[in-house]
Amino acid sequence: MTQPAPPIFVTAIGTDSGKTVFSAILVEALQADYWKPIQSGLPRDTETVARLVSNPISQFHREAYLLSQPLSPHASAAIDGITIDLNTIHLPVTHNRLVMEGAGGILVPLNQSNFVIELADKFAAEVILVANLYLGSINHTLLSVNELKRRAATGKMTIKGIVFNHSPVESSEEIILHHTGLPCLLRINTHPSITKDIVKHYAAQLRQTLMQPTASVR
C-alpha cells in the first residue's frame, strides 16, 4: 500500500519573510490543500492564499487557533484568555497533499513550553525554509538551518530545501547554500504586488524543480 505523501511545512527565518506568498505558490504548484494551524491577528493568511490560488482542486482548512492580536501566538493567546495546546491540534481530514504554514520564524513560542516548529515534527512534515535577503539574513538563515537540522536529527521532520524571497543577492545565496548543503527550490523576485498570474508563473517553475529527484535532509 502506497504511503501518503507527508505534509509540507512552510517556515521562515522571521516574520514577513514571504511564507504566505510562497505557500500560495506551493499550493498552486501541487494543487494541494492549505492549512494555517495558528493565525495571530487579521487579515487571515488563509484568505490571502485562497485569493491567490487559481486551481479548482485546493481546499482551505480552518485554523486550529484563530487569535485576535497580531502578536507572537503565546502573547496573543494570553490576551484572548487561552493557552495553545499542541495536543488539541490535529491534521484536517483530506485525501490531498497538505501545505501547512507556520507563524513567524521557527522558534516563535506557542506557549511557555512549545515552539511553532514542533508542529512540523508532530506531523512528520517536510520543511521548506523561506529566507528573505537583507543585511544580516545570512546569519539568521544559517542559525535557522542549524536549528532545523538539530531537531530533524532526533525527530520525525525532514528538511526539503530553501526558498529565497527578494531581488537576487548572488553572494548571499551562494554562501548560504554552500554552508547549509540544502537545495534552492525557488527564487522569488520583488514585485509591487502579488497577483494570481505571478503565483502561476512561479508555480510552474517550482513544479519543475519539485519533479527533480532530491533527498530530504535530516
Catalytic residues: 36
Task: Compute the distance between CA of residue 55 and CA of residue 155 in angstroms, rounded to an integer.
Answer: 34
Read off the C-alpha cell for 84.
Answer: 495553545
Q: Tell me the Cα Rg of the chain.
A: 16
Read off the C-alpha cell for 81.
Answer: 484568555
Task: Compute the distance between CA of residue 120 and CA of residue 69 in angstroms, rounded to an integer.
Answer: 23
- Spatial CA neighbour of 114 closest among 68, 69, 73: 73
Encoded amino acid at 181, one letter: G
- List Cα–Cα distances, 34 to 7, 8, 137, 207, in angstroms: 10, 10, 27, 17
Judge residue 86's burial from the number of C-beta atoms within 10 Å of its C-beta, 0-12 exposed, 13-18 middle, 19 or more buried: middle
Q: Do 108 and 73 contact (CB within 8 A), yes or no?
A: yes
